Structure 1
């Protein structure tokens, strides 16, 4: 302990030969050297080479990245690990670095050192990353992707509709784009519509069979070409009539109001449950819509027509039954809409009342467009209009 005491006395002894200026300059130089060394070491950990130096990272997430557009694309611009996972803001960057210590611990002690262990932890790790993206409003994404710089003319009509709505409220990218760079974890009943849609991604539709749309899908006038014919709403029942290449010709049964072009198709008479919205051109195209009967709604005085629509869409994302969609919608409604109050049961309101009630809740929750449409449709289709068990 004697040498330690002597060192302390030396450090506390006033300088006999150094001036205040010399001390100040020396301290400044030492500070610059320290800060430079610190930042050099910090930046060394912000490289792809450092990230994949752990075999777990190299063998799993790095390989998954190489399968995506962030790795190889027509512009030749590649996103590396730190581009997405390390914020530019210094405070946020340090927060991420501190949190990363848990990953280092996991690597050293073999928490995720096998594919089986990694998959078991994938949801936990992904959720932590998604939470970080939510905190920063996906700022690392927006370092490259700017809403104001997007060329709407080069997007599909469906993408334009969704992206413009996102741009209006500067929505976090991760709300809709989970799984954009790495495989999605098994999320159980917390699956989002795009995850459920993957179940139907590999389904080969059979002519004459009935299916349900797992996502909001684009409609086309024919088996080829990009001419927009409208949108098919999520969880809509369709019948496959014909398959050509990547598209199927489907039949949609429903009702429309006999006003204007009559291009909006609803699930049932007098019930405002959307199933499809056609363009004016598609609605007027001969052979697209067949009318079977007219019926007047005593509540509104409007005349409705029972119709059948024959139209084309992409053959992917069709499910054989809607059970997974309704399960996800029910869980989302019960959790997201119970934060502020006890939510009413679906059968508490009729199908035409629910849209207004549900839209009033959206200011207090965070849902992507397909989830919003799906939950509203779930409430409508399980409302008192169809569930005669009474109010709950």
Structure 2
């Protein structure tokens, strides 16, 4: 500790030979050197050459960029990696550099060092970037593309309509232009990572005779250990747990089916085409799988419906204790995604049987994986005029 005491005494001793001016000048020069060195290092890590120095970045996203309009166009203006992925304002730039430390971790542990690993992570990485663009109102895009500078008369009528509406709200560009610089992830078969991050995967233990809700669309099985599928359990469906065995649970599913064909599709309620479960032909014909109760005839269609209950097995994961988190996520997704092209209608604007057709006409213009599509559609049906009576 002696050397530390001596250092402290030296630092606290008034200067005997240096003037205040020389000390100030020295401090100024050292500050300039430090700032220059810091800024030089910052800019060195803010170049395209630095970004593609990582093989996984050069072999995938950089190659994809070269096939887009951001690489080659009639104006000759090229967007580089940092133009889009590093904020231009100094404060946000420093924050982004700190966030990028996780990329170093990924490089060290070869997180995306192969094409297969990269594709497995593509949706996760894209979702993170989309969220950042959304948070910053696509400021990186607007550094080059400014609503006030757009020539509306050179656009098509449809483009004018949509872009002027976006300009009025100063809308984030990636709401409509995902995939403009890189290949879009496979949204069709993804397992809704954002949804699961929001609602969780469910408890590790279950209580028999209690109700749970499916957080994703899940396969149904005939037995606790077999791999023969008996059908599909739809997202946001209420089930009763009857028994637990290792990584599966036996569930009871209630609903209504139409008395046509094998009656494989189970709906939420009488006369309402809201999907609860779809059984295989084999399951529908197997004795004891479906128990039938009273029957009713739909006056509008003339079809006979039957109240039923089916008992099958499913994997224990993605069964959660409350349904409201699913509705909260669906509401937010509907109001953010479906307001891109127009003002979205109120949930109670249509009835439960009208919403599926209306919603299917919308999803072609948004990026939603199949689970999220099914959840949002079910949310709209559940909160439609069939169940919510109000003026609109």
TM-score, normalised with respect to structure 2: 0.60
In structure 2, what is the Cα distance between the partners aligned to 1:95 and 1:229? 51
Matched residue SS, 2:387? coil
Q: In structure 1, how many angstroms separate the alpha carbons of the residues matched to 2:332 and 2:346?
A: 12
The corresponding residue for 1:241 is 242
Q: Are residue 46 (structure 1) and residue 49 (structure 2) matched?
A: no
How many Å separate the matches in 1 of 2:344 and 2:95? 44
Q: Does 1:173 align with 2:173?
A: no
**Aligned residue number for residue 344 of structure 1:** 345
Question: Separation in 2 of the partners of 1:377 and 1:323?
Answer: 13
Are the aligned partners of 1:134 and 1:172 in contact in 2 as well (CA < 8 Å)? Answer: no
Query: Aligned pair 1:87/2:63, yes or no?
Result: yes
Q: 2 CA distance for matches of 1:108 and 1:353?
A: 47
Secondary structure of 2:178's counterpart equals helix
Partner Cα separation in structure 2 for residue 127 and residue 288 of structure 1: 44
Report the equivalent of 1:323.
324
Which runs of 5 or more residues in structure 2 are unaligned? 1-46, 72-77, 104-125, 135-173
Deviates more, 1:335-344 or 1:108-117: 108-117
Going from structure 1 to structure 2, the CA distance change for 1:137 and 1:288 (only over 3 Å counts) comes to: farther
- Aligned partners of 1:88 and 1:346: how far apart in 2? 39
Partner-residue secondary structure (3-state), 2:230:
strand
- Tell me, what secondary structure is at the counterpart of 2:329? helix
- Cα shift at 1:291: 0.6
C-alpha spacing 1:126/1:379, structure 2 compared with 1 (3 Å): closer
Contact conserved, 1:235 with 1:322, CA < 8 A, in 2?
yes
1:355 paired residue number = 356
* Post-superposition offset of 1:227: 1.0
| RMSD between superposed Cα atoms in Å | 3.7
| SS in structure 1 at match of 2:197 | helix
Q: What aligned pairs does 1:253-272 form with structure 2 within 5 A after superposition?
A: 253-272=254-273
**What is the TM-score with the length of structure 1 in the denominator?**
0.60
The answer to whether 1:383 aligns with 2:368 is: no
What is residue 141 of structure 2 aligned with on the other side? none
> What is the CA-CA distance between 1:363 and the residue it aligns to?
2.8
Which residues of structure 1 form unaligned runs of 5+? 1-40, 49-78, 140-170, 185-191
Q: 1:108 to 1:353 in 2, by over 3 A?
A: closer
| Change over 3 Å in CA distance of 1:138–1:309 after alignment to 2 | farther
Note the C-alpha offset of 1:176. Answer: 6.4
Q: Residue 172 and residue 115 in structure 1: after superposition, are their counterparts in 2 closer, same or farther (change >3 A)?
A: closer
Provide the residue aligned with 1:14 in structure 2: none
Take 2:324 and 2:297, find their aligned partners in 1: how far apart are those partners? Answer: 33
Distance 2:189 2:236 in 1: 18
* Mapping 1:75-114, distance limit 5 Å: 80-90=56-66, 92=71, 95-99=80-84, 113=98
Could you give the per-residue CA deviations for residues 36-67 of structure 1, whole angstroms, max 9, x where no partner exists? xxxxx97675344xxxxxxxxxxxxxxxxxxx
> Alpha carbons of 1:320 and 1:359: their partners in 2 closer, same or farther (altered >3 Å)?
same
Deviation at 1:125, TM superposition (A): 5.3
Task: After TM superposition, give the deviation of residue 382 of structure 1 in Å.
Answer: 1.0
State the distance in 2 between where 1:136 and 1:338 align: 20
1:129/1:221 Cα in 2 relative to 1: closer, same or farther (>3 Å)?
farther
- 1:216 correspondence with 2:217: yes
| Shift in alpha-carbon separation, 1:108–1:359, aligned structure 2, 3 A | closer
Taking a change above 3 Å as real, the CA distance of residues 287 and 126 of structure 1, as seen in their structure-2 partners, is same
Hey, what's the Cα distance between the residues in 1 that align with 2:317 and 2:230? 17
Tell me the CA shift for residue 282 of structure 1.
1.0
Residues 64 and 181, structure 2, Cα contact 8 Å, conserved in 1: no
Distance 1:318 1:257 in 2: 27
* Residues matched between the structures, number: 275
Alpha-carbon contact 1:288-1:309 (below 8 Å) kept: yes
Deviation for aligned residue 1:217: 0.7
Alpha-carbon displacement from aligned partner over 1:326-364 (angstroms, at most 9, x marks no partner): 111112222222233332222222111111222222233
Task: Report matched runs for 1:1-392 at 5 Å.
Answer: 46-48=52-54, 80-90=56-66, 92=71, 95-99=80-84, 113=98, 127-128=131-132, 134-136=178-180, 138-139=182-183, 172-173=185-186, 192-197=194-199, 199-387=200-388, 389-392=389-392
